[in-house]
Amino acid sequence: MNSSIVNVSRPLFVTSGEPAGIGPDICLDLARRKGVRPIVVLADKDLLKQRAQKLGVAVELIEYQGQDCVAEDGQLFVHHIPVNVPVIAGQLNPKNADYVIRQLDFAAQMALQGQSAGVVTAPVQKSVINESGIPFSGHTEFFQEKAGVDRVVMMLATKLLRVALVTTHLPLRQVADAITTERLQQVIDILIADLQRKFHIANPIILVCGLNPHAGEGGYLGDEEIRIINPVLKHYQQNGVNISLAMPADTLFNPEHLKNADAVLAMYHDQGLPVLKSQGFGEAVNITLGLPFIRTSVDHGTALDLAGTGRASSSSLMVATDLALQMASGDQTDDHC
């Protein structure tokens, strides 16, 4: 997406994340984007002013109070959520942990009430939130609980590739046990539904990685493909879904295979994401499928050492906001796979 104004009637809410990290820095860059509107940043307005001064960024902050928010260049709409104690760039403070949660609460509430185009999240520091006494396992789990859905699916996307995951943050020795018929069916159902509903792909083409080397090589290198994975995939094929049987992951990502695919389904985190990040790190987007609203996120952490230095890149946030607005408007002109 370039400089045209996106046709969405409701604002996209962007959480600024951990206040001591680079979230406030990269959110300020949204004021420089032509036409990427309407966007409202959830943050402490004074914190953004202070960070803008530190970075030498000229920005006009406009307090959002439910009005239309088509901003001019150099303007940024902000829904003010106050921090508890003053913020020092690069220095975590557990006293501000609930500030992060209040951003997420507001974003979830607006999305679930149908008052937003979607949610984009800047990075948070899970350790300091838990240190404060607030149990927090991550953005994905937070929104899943708020939405009351049984399962969500993590998908990362660049302009050339989408990779969804059957399992996410599990120790490798637990992955095989986690790949059950029920789980695989739930993930595929969510993947198909959101490729159709949120990416507007009527008949998505999905390639599936096998779990084992060479997709098990006929059972000699593991039999999960024979016992679990391929029977599920055959069921979908018989019902008209354009999905492959389990393919060897070391050859699936060949450009010849990918040229007509809309998404790849990988069995575990480090099977699919290294390939995706090698081609698009810093410009990849984390998308949560299975929620009743659009949610995208940056593909990086809080980068405390870069906060307030002017060296933080906002490229992933820009792609995340662009993609969320494209999905909200029904405009999917960029090819991803």
**Residues within the annotated binding site?**
139-140, 169, 214, 269, 277, 286, 295
> Smallest Cα–Cα separation from 146: which of 194, 118, 104?
104
Residues marked as binding for substrate?
139-140, 277, 286, 295
292 phi and psi angles, rounded to 5 deg:
-80, 15
Which one-letter amino acid corresponds to residue 152? V
The count of other CB atoms within 10 Å of the CB of residue 174 is 10
Residues marked as binding for a divalent metal cation?
169, 214, 269
Dist. CA 30–CA 218, nearest whole Å: 51
> Smallest Cα–Cα separation from 62: which of 52, 70, 50, 54?
70
206 phi and psi angles, rounded to 5 deg:
-120, 130
> 40 by DSSP, 3-state: which?
strand
Dist. CA 249–CA 14, nearest whole Å: 35
Which one-letter amino acid corresponds to residue 335? D
Instruction: List the end-to-end C-alpha distance of the chain, in Å, as a whole number.
Output: 17
Q: Are 150 and 45 in contact (CB under 8 A)?
A: no
> Smallest Cα–Cα separation from 314: which of 10, 2, 4, 30?
30
The pair of three-digit structure tokens given for residue 50, joined into one six-digit string: 């202070």
Residue that the structure tokens 């019902």 belong to? 239
